[in-house]
Amino acid sequence: MKIKKKTIVLISIIAILLLSIIVKLSTDFYKENKLKEEIKEIVRLINTNPENNEKIDELLNRTVIKKGKYNIVETSLKKYYKELYSDYSNLLFIIDDENFTNYLSETSLRENRPSFINTKNNIENTYNQIDALYTEVENEVKEISIKLPYISEYNLSTYYKELYLSLIDDNLGTEFINNLEKEKNKAKDKLAIYEEAIQYLSTYNNEWSIKNGVIEFKDMSYRTEYETIMNKLKEVE
C-alpha cells in the first residue's frame, strides 16, 4: 500500500509539473504571437501610411505585454522603432515634392533673383540632408551594432535577443531599404531638375518676369527651353 501511495504521489507531482510546463509554454506562445502581431502592424503602418503619426505613436507608446521578459523585448523594440520612425519621417518630409516646388514659388523667385544664392545653398543643403538621413535609416536597419544596444542592457537569454532581432529583420528586411533607396534617388533626380531650372532663370534673368504668380518669358524660345527642363519631372515619376 505504501508503494502504491508513493506512486500516486509521484504521478501527481509529475502531472502538476507537466501542467505547469504546458501552461507556461501556452502563455509564452500567446505573448510571443501577440508581440509579433503588434510589431507587424507598426511596420505595416510605417510602410503604407507613415504620415499617420497619431496612430503610429499610439502603437509605439503602448505596451501589449504588461510584464516579464516579453515586456522587456516589446519595450526594447518600440524604443528602436521610435528612433527609426523619427529618422524615416524626417527623410520623407525632406523629399516631399511640395518642398521642391517652393523653390519656384513667386515669393522665392522674387526674393532670390537674380543670383539665387540662397536657393542654391538650400538645394545643396537638401542634397546633404537626404544622403545623411538615408544613411542613418539604412544603418539602423542593417547594422546589428545599432540594433542590439536597445536590448543588450537587459540580462536576457540569447533566445529573447534573437527574437528581438528577428522582429526587426523579418519585418523590415531588404525590401524596405530597397524601396527607400528608390525614393531617395527619385527625389535627388527631381532636385537636380529644380536646380537646373533655377540656374536657367539665373542665367537669363533679364528674359523673364512674374505676372499673377506665373513666369512669363519675353521670347518663346526661352519659354520652350525652360519648359523642356521642367518636363523632365514627368520622366522621374
- Mean pLDDT within 154-166: 94
Q: What is the pLDDT of residues 55-107, one digit of tens each?
A: 999 999 999 998 999 999 999 999 999 999 999 999 999 999 888 999 999 99
CA gap 205, 200 in Å, rounded: 8
Q: Is the pLDDT of residue 20 over 60?
A: no
Place of cell 512674374: 210
pTM of the model as a whole: 0.83
What values do phi and psi take at 13, rounded to 5? -65, -45
Q: What is the pLDDT of residues 189-222, one digit of tens each?
A: 999 999 999 999 999 999 999 998 899 999 999 9
CA gap 107, 189 in Å, rounded: 24
Residue ranges covered by each domain of the chain: 69-236
